[in-house]
Chain A
Amino acid sequence: MQRQKSILSFFQKS
């Protein structure tokens, strides 16, 4: 089973 990662787990709020 594959899970879609969120972009928020890579880039931080600035």
Chain B
Amino acid sequence: MLELRLVQGSLLKKVLEAIKDLVNDANFDCSATGFSLQAMDSSHVALVALLLRSEGFEHYRCDRNLSMGMNLNNMSKMLKCAGNDDIITIKADDGSDTVTFMFESPNQDKIADFEMKLMDIDSEHLGIPEAEYQAIVRMPSSEFARICKDLSSIGDTVVISVTKEGVKFSTRGDIGTANVVCRQNTTVDKPEEATVIEMQEPVSLTFALRYMNSFTKATPLSGTVTISLSSDLPIVVEYKIAEMGYIRFYLAPKIED
């Protein structure tokens, strides 16, 4: 038996909007730790890891570890039927081939339940080793989204370079080139407006902008984004989900042949 009650149901709606275009089908894993997901895109270039910790739910009952295969597009269709202020409860019985999403309006005058068919998904769970990164950049998530969108109108790839001068995003295309440099800036009114650069050593990597733009669909989940870079590792683009966990996107770099 599984019953997870999330008062801030909009979080789950936002999570689905953030990942449904990157991943078609995925297993949601439920354990004492929380509600999690790990999935790759169909071309095995990017990986998304989601964790919503059990403590973040108002009620969290998960009698035994359960993996539920869902089509994310269908799940998104169902969650779009929940109001932004609704409380969302996810329910499943042991051995059932369906999951139920229950939506309660804040004043309890409307209760809806949507039952969705589960699917068997052969997914490969990958071990992600703990790593020391050469550079970690924290910046406003809206700023990062803006840069990725702007650069993708010029080119297909972005070179992200971190030096002591700051973090530089560069692209080139048929019509020309573009460079955006963000310097460390901690003299701001609100902490989420800061750009903080922790650099162990300079690093420069190239990535497909199509994926970066897809990751920025998580922008509504967090005011800040953390970008971790190392020359021999995929980039990590992390959006923290307040008091609940995170959504992390890993993207393999492009390399010179």
Contact of B252 among A1, A6, A14 (CB under 8 A): A6
| Cβ contact within 8 Å between B45 and A2 | no
Measured between beta carbons, the chain B residues less than 8 angstroms from A2 are 157, 206, 254-257
Contact of B254 among A4, A7, A11 (CB under 8 A): A4
Q: Indicate if B128 sits at the interface (CB-CB under 8 A).
A: yes
Can you list 7 residue pairs at the A/B interface with Cβ under 8 Å? A6-B252, A7-B40, A7-B45, A7-B47, A9-B252, A11-B129, A14-B126
Closest-CB distance, B133 to chain A (whole angstroms): 13
The 5 nearest A-B residue pairs measured at CB: A14-B127, A11-B126, A5-B252, A2-B254, A1-B257
CA distance A1 to B254 in the complex (A): 10
| Cβ contact within 8 Å between B257 and A3 | yes
Interface of A is mostly: mixed
Measured between beta carbons, the chain B residues less than 8 angstroms from A7 are 40, 44-47, 126, 234, 250-252
Q: Indicate if B189 sits at the interface (CB-CB under 8 A).
A: no
Known: A2-B206, A11-B128. 7 other contacts (CB 8 A): A3-B254, A5-B255, A7-B44, A7-B251, A10-B250, A12-B126, A13-B126
Measured between beta carbons, the chain B residues less than 8 angstroms from A11 are 47, 126-129, 234, 250
| Cβ contact within 8 Å between B44 and A8 | yes
For window 198-251 of B, CB contacts with A under 8 Å fall at 206, 208, 233-234, 250-251
Contact of A6 among B44, B206, B208 (CB under 8 A): B44
Contact of B253 among A5, A8, A13, A14 (CB under 8 A): A5
Tell me which of A2, A7, A9 has the highest count of chain B C-beta atoms within 10 A of its own C-beta: A7
Closest-CB distance, B199 to chain A (whole angstroms): 21
Q: Indicate if B109 sits at the interface (CB-CB under 8 A).
A: no
For window 98-121 of B, CB contacts with A under 8 Å fall at none
CA distance A1 to B256 in the complex (A): 6
| Cβ contact within 8 Å between A12 and B127 | yes
